[in-house]
Structure 1
Amino acid sequence: MPLFYFRICNGDYSGTSGEGFDLADRDAAWTEMSRVCGDLVAGIVRKLKQQSEWRMELLDASRKPVFRIRVLAETLDHSATSTP
Structure 2
Amino acid sequence: MEIAKITSKGQITIPIEIRKKLRLKEGDKVLFIDEGDKIVFANASISALEKIQMEMIGEAEKVGVSTEDDVIDLVKDLRSEKRKI
Give the shorter-chain TM-score range: under 0.3
**Which is greater in Rg?**
2
- Determine which structure has greater relative contact order: mean sequence separation of CA pairs < 8 Å that are 6+ residues apart, divided by chain length: 1
In terms of fraction of residues, the more strand-rich structure is: 1
